[in-house]
Amino acid sequence: MLFNSLIFAFFLPTVFFIYWFVVNKNVKIQNIFLIVASYFFYGWWDWRFLGLIFFSSITDFFIGKILHQQQKQLNRNLLMILSLFTNLGVLFYFKYCNFFIENFVSLFSSIGISSNVTSLNIILPIGISFYTFQTLSYTIDIYKKQGKPTDDVVSFLAFVSFFPQLVAGPIERASNLVPQFLKPRKFKYEDGVEGARLILWGFLKKVVIADNCAYFVNNIFDNYASQTGSTLVLGLILFAFQVYGDFSGYSDIAVGTARLFGIKLMDNFNFPYFSTSITDFWRRWHISLSTWLRDYLYTPMVMGLRSWGMKGIIFSTICSFTIIGFWHGPNWVYIVFGLFHGLVLSYEILNSKRRKRWKKSMNKRVHFVLSLILTFTFYLFTLILFRSVSVTDATYYAENIFSKSLFTMPAIIAPKYRMIYTLILILAFIITEWYSKDKKHVLDVVNLSQSKRWAIYAVVIGVIIVFGRFNNNDFIYFQF
């Protein structure tokens, strides 16, 4: 079920009403109702994979309980391996199996060995990467003795399947979410208003910014060989705002929807396009994933390789971000995307002292603007990989940018009026986010008078109605 679909417009108020006015007397019944609603939400896409979520949830629930009771390290290690094998095994089969089959067949063919092995007919369960990492963090925390298991299977099932963040995050930790399901919840007007603000701004990001950009991005990338260099750059810029509006819009709606039910999820974005380095960017972009990899992969690797000194840090950085790339999908474009980010992050680590000297020697504003431009430019070029079907296509796209036509005016793709108002909307969006960068989010307007707040809401709703694209476009990160 899509947030931007008509069915969700009926689903959300129905669930909200039953949750607060019918089953509000008992927290366990509330949680059971949330599980049923969440499974319905997910099953609307494909009911066959409901068993997969339940299997993943119940496996880690019982492994967590047994793991906590074990004193012998060997038994603890075996249980942790079982959890990793189960979760990552399921993820590998559904998401990466065909990738490895196809690449092994290509490898053997390149050395003259033919193979009759063919790809499997596998449907990728939506959101599998998100809820797999979420359940894994639970057992890892128990294994590291940084968390305790819950005895309430209902609250744990609710933690894994909670519909606002089930299919595209944020990737929550059990230490934050499970305690919220265990305690009674009362509706708070402030939470309801804050949730509605986040949902409203999230919808603007999705249907106004992302979906308007999508039309032109698809046109440019699908026909990149016939486009001028300047038009290809324009396509990249539009894609940058498409993917940001799409994914951060989803996160805003998810966090806002959860707030309507008295649940607080972590923030997943913090104005990432105002980053002044790639290190800063990953502190602001998809925060739930970058912090997950930091806590469960990067830091353990650095500690394990501490005898290597700086080499261990660099190796861990490159490996972690290559895995971040691979997490996005079974395609070499994502692996190379992650590798590039890991290499630039390594450069920033190795040159941190020199970069600080540059900052001190330059005018603050000049340094900020240059850093902003360089960071965004690098990010743009890695987006060629993120959007392309293959590394070959990405290479040709980049080559076509650096031609004489780079210095011409970009082509205005028909309908021209739509391209013009899309660019104006993006400019207005950038300005709005810039002046809101010190707030929790753009519609954090609690300090304004009631009349001004309602005027802002009216403008946002008006922009959504006039410029929104209501054609049920999927969210980009559903494929991950």
Determine the Cα–Cα distance for residues 91 and 478; give it in Å rounded to an integer. 15
State the amino acid at position 207 in one-letter form. V
Quick check: helix, strand or coil at residue 8?
helix
- Positive or negative, the CA dihedral 57, 62, 65, 71 is negative
285 closest CA partner among 300, 298, 301, 267 = 267
Q: Which helix (H) or strand (E) holds 170?
A: none
The DSSP string of 378-393 is HHHHHHHHHHSSSHHH
Kind and range of the H or E run holding 335: helix 332-350
Question: Could you give the dihedral angle defined by the CA atoms of residues 212, 213, 219 and 222, in that order, rounded to the nearest 10 degrees?
Answer: -130
Quick check: is 328 catalytic? yes
Identity of residue 245: G
Rounded CA-CA distance 267/275 in Å is 17
The sign of the CA dihedral 316, 319, 322, 323 is negative
Q: What's the rounded Cα separation, in Å, for the pair 197 and 216?
A: 29
Degrees (nearest 5) of the Cα angle 51, 55, 60? 155
Sequential DSSP letters for 352-411 = HHHHHHHHHHS-HHHHHHHHHHHHHHHHHHHHHHHHSSSHHHHHHHHHHHSSGGGGSPPP
Pick the catalytic residue: 68, 286, 328, 441? 328
Question: Residue 150 to residues 65, 188, 243: CA-CA distances in angstroms?
Answer: 8, 26, 37
Length of the chain: 480
Q: What is the largest CA-CA distance in the chain?
A: 74
Distances (CA, A) of 145 to 65, 66, 110: 12, 13, 48
Q: Distances in Å between the alpha carbon of 254 and those of 127, 198, 436?
A: 14, 9, 20
Residues 6+ apart with CB under 8 A from 22: none
Q: Provide the annotated active-site residues.
A: 328
